[in-house]
Amino acid sequence: MEFKVVISDPKTGRAYQTVVSGANANKLIGKQIGDVINGTLVDLPPDYELKITGGSDKDGFPMRPDIPGSGRKKILLSGGVGFNPKEKGMRKRKQVRGRVISRDIAQINVKVVTHGKIPLEEFFKKKESEE
């Protein structure tokens, strides 16, 4: 099992993508949107802390922080994650996924809360040059 993890750096405004598999992917299962995780789970130095901000499942349905559990639900939305209304007051029933990470999740979005000594830009340049 593997997850694509998109790491956003609010300091620079850039985003980096990495793939997490194996034991680290298993440690992510059961975490929720809003949880803070250590950088070692996504192959970053241990002095980084990351906050889970969202994600989407294998079929593209987005995760919402206000839906408990990890299953899919059809809910009436007036805006926010999963629905952008074209007119004021427009509502629509859409299918979304809960806030808990499960095996069905394909992508996880995280943002950096605590920065480490090595900037992310340098870290990902080193990784690319090794490959």
- Residue 114: what pLDDT? 92
Look at residue 91 and tell me if it is in a domain: no
55-99 confidence digits (pLDDT tens): 999 999 999 999 999 999 999 999 999 999 999 999 999 999 999
Count of structural domains within the chain:
1
Tell me if 71 is assigned to some domain: no
Whether 43 maps to a domain, the answer reads: yes
Is position 106 within any domain?
yes
User: Looking at residue 29, what is its pLDDT?
Assistant: 93
- pLDDT for 131 beyond 70: no
Q: Is residue 81 part of a domain?
A: no
Whether 79 maps to a domain, the answer reads no
27 inside domain? yes
Structural domain containing residue 37: 2-63+100-130
Please check whether residue 97 is in contact with residue 56, taking contact to mean a CB–CB distance below 8 angstroms. yes
Backbone dihedral region of 24: left (phi > 0), alpha (psi from -120 to 50 degrees) or beta?
A: alpha
**What is the pLDDT, as a whole number, of residue 66?**
93
Per-residue pLDDT of 6-17, as tens digits, reads: 999 999 999 999
- CATH (domain of 25): 3.10.20
pLDDT at 55: 95
Interval 24-63: pLDDT, tens: 999 999 999 999 999 999 888 889 999 999 999 999 999 9
**Confidence band, pLDDT 50/70/90 cuts, at residue 129:** low
Query: Is residue 94 assigned to a domain?
Result: no
